[in-house]
Structure formats: structure tokens, C-alpha cells
């Protein structure tokens, strides 16, 4: 998060809302190139709160790009993504502007997630999975609530079966 905060244009980007797990970590994001020109999908203008005179304009933009994204925890361990492997990224991004102000700036508001989009890739801690795999003798079985007494009972049962 330290690296993304330093870049210009991200001052209004709410990182705690987007990635609450890495509040003290680092987010490394690099745009490689756009696969196609960005396209405006929707334009809205509304009064928020109603009858207040504070008009807000929102523009939804479809962006198809190739990006690298890596998220690290506070200890520098990779949680998600890769700094070396670029991925295709199709995003619908919502920008907003308070149009009451002549000098208002457009800022990032949120992303739209279509119903057909694949679910996000979860954080997998490989070291935890490797430790769990080494504790079990059965291939492909990972026991998460490892209990010493249960292990002793299973060992005795195996000896009795022999």
C-alpha cells in the first residue's frame, strides 16, 4: 500500500475498503497496455442528498487492459498475484465529479462487478498448506483441526488392525 499511495491520482482511492487484509502491507500495480480503447458505458447525474443542490456526475468506463498486480502482507510475503506475470483485466470503473464546482476533479468511486464475472482468486498461504500436508500420511488429505488425542487413537487403531 505504500507504493500505491505514492503514485499521483490515488489520493482518493480507499485502500482499506478494497483490500482490508493488507492495511499495513504493500500493493504493487503496473499497467502494461490497453487491449482496446476504453469506452464510456454509462453517464449519470443526480442530486445527492436530494434537493440539496449538490449535483454529482458519474461515468462508468469499460477498460480492457493487461496488468500486473501483487499484494504483500506487512512482513513482505506475497499474498496474491505476481509482479512478473501479467493478466488480462476487464473492468467497469465508476468515476465521479461534484459538478457544482467549476474546478472539481474526477475521482475513482467504485468498480462494477457483472454477474457473469468469475469470482476473485482467494489468498492461499502455501506455507500453511505445506505444513498441513506434512502432518498427514494420506495423500491429498489436509486436516485443519489436528487433535493430538485423535492422532494417538488413530495410531493405536492402525496397530490393532495389523
| Across 31-45, 51-65, 101-115, least confident range | 101-115
Residue 64 and residue 92 in one domain: yes
Q: Are residues 87 and 43 in the same domain?
A: yes
**Alpha carbon distance 63, 40 (integer Å):** 9
Say if residue 24 is in the same domain as residue 81. Answer: yes
Burial environment of residue 73 by CB neighbours within 10 A (0 to 12, 13 to 18, 19 or more): middle
Highest mean pLDDT among 3-7, 29-33, 45-49, 133-137: 29-33
Q: Are residues 139 and 110 in the same domain?
A: no
Chain centroid offset of residue 86 CA: 15
Domain finish residue from 119, 137, 153: 119
Kindly state whether residues 25 and 92 are assigned to the same domain.
Answer: yes
**Which secondary-structure segment (H or E) carries 37?**
none
Looking at every residue in the chain, the average pLDDT score rounds to 74
Would you state the cell numbers that stand for residue 153, as one nine-digit string?
A: 487413537
In the chain, DSSP assigns E strands to 26-34, 39-47, 55-72, 78-98, 107-112
What is the average per-residue pLDDT within 135-149?
51
- Could you give the percent of the chain with pLDDT greater than 90? 20
Phi-psi category of 148—alpha, beta or left, where left has phi over 0 and alpha has psi -120 to 50?
alpha
Task: Examine the domain organization and report whether 64 and 138 are in the same domain.
Answer: no
Enter the C-alpha cell of residue 145.
483441526
Domain span at 107: 2-119
132 and 68 part of one domain? no
User: Do both 67 and 86 map to the same domain?
Assistant: yes
Domain count along the chain: 2
Based on the fold, state whether residues 39 and 19 are members of the same structural domain: yes
Asked if residue 32 has pLDDT above 50, the reply is yes
Report whether pLDDT(50) > 90. Answer: no
Amino acid at each position: 500500500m505504500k507504493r500505491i499511495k505514492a503514485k499521483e491520482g490515488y489520493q482518493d482511492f480507499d485502500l482499506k475498503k478494497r483490500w482490508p487484509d493488507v492495511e499495513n502491507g504493500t500493493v504493487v500495480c503496473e499497467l502494461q497496455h490497453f487491449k482496446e480503447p476504453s469506452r464510456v458505458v454509462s453517464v449519470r447525474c443526480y442530486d445527492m442528498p436530494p434537493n440539496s443542490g449538490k449535483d454529482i456526475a458519474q461515468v462508468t468506463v469499460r477498460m480492457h487492459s493487461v496488468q500486473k498486480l501483487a499484494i504483500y502482507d506487512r512482513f513482505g510475503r506475497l499474498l496474491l498475484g505476481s509482479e512478473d506475470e501479467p493478466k488480462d483485466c476487464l473492468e467497469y470503473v465508476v468515476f465521479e465529479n461534484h459538478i457544482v464546482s467549476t474546478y472539481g476533479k474526477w475521482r475513482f468511486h467504485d468498480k462494477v462487478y457483472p454477474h457473469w464475472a468469475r469470482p476473485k482468486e482467494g489468498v492461499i498461504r502455501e506455507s500453511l498448506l505445506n505444513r498441513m500436508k506434512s502432518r498427514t500420511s494420506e495423500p491429498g488429505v489436509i486436516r485443519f483441526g489436528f487433535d493430538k488425542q485423535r492422532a494417538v487413537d488413530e495410531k493405536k487403531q492402525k496397530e490393532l488392525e495389523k
